[in-house]
Amino acid sequence: MTERAVRRWLPASAALALALVATACGGGGGGGTVEVTLQEFAIAANPSSISAGEVTFETTNEGPNDPHELVVIRTDLAPDQLPTNPDGTVNEDGEGIEVLDEIEEFPVGETRSLTLDLEAGSYVLICNIYDEDEPEAHYQEGMRTAFTVE
Ligand SMILES: [Cu+2]
C-alpha cells in the first residue's frame, strides 16, 4: 500500500488500518503457503517451518495409486511416536495430540488446500488412511512428517 493510501485511513484508526493491511497482504503478518506432497508412502512439506499466522497447506496427491488425506496435528511428540490404534492408525483422540483440521482423502493428481491460523509450536502432518485391501495404515508406512511454526 502506498503512503498516500495509508494517510486516507488515518482519520479512522491508523493502527487498525495497518493491522488490516498486514493481514490482507500477509506482509509482516506471518504465515504463508506451504506446499505439501502426499505419496506412497511419504509426506513432504516445503517449507517445513513457517512463522505463526494464517498458514495455507497447498496439498497435492502424487500417488501414484492411492487416495490420501492430510491431517494437521498439534503435538510435542515425534512424528513416529503418536498414539495408535490396534490397526496402526493414529488414535486422533489419543493423549498428547490435538487434531486441528484435515483435508479428507482425495484422488491422485489433485490438489486441495486448507488454511489454518497457527500459533508457534510443534506440529505433525500425517495421512491416517487405513487400507483394508493391503492391509496397511499409511501412517505406519511412513506418511508422517514434522512441521514447525515459529
Ligand atoms: Cu495416505
pLDDT digits (tens, 9 = 90+) for 88-145: 999 999 999 999 999 999 999 999 999 999 999 999 999 999 999 999 999 999 999 9
Residue 35 shares a structural domain with residue 15: no
pLDDT digits (tens, 9 = 90+) for 37-79: 999 999 999 999 999 999 999 999 999 999 999 999 999 999 9
Tell me how far apart the alpha carbons of residues 100 and 106 are, in angstroms, rounded to a whole number.
19
Residue 48 shares a structural domain with residue 7: no
Phi, psi of 130 (to 5 degrees): -110, 120
Q: What is the CA radius of gyration of the chain?
A: 19
Tell me how far apart the alpha carbons of residues 111 and 114 are, in angstroms, rounded to a whole number.
10
Range of the domain at 23: 1-30
**How many distinct structural domains can be found in the chain?**
2
Residue 114 shares a structural domain with residue 68: yes
Ion ligand 1, residues whose Cβ is below 5 A away: 68, 127, 129, 138, 143
Return the bridge partners of 37, or none: 44, 60
The pTM for the full model equals: 0.82
CATH of the domain at 103: 2.60.40.420
Residue 76 shares a structural domain with residue 20: no
Ligand 1 centre distance from Cα of residue 70 (Å) = 8
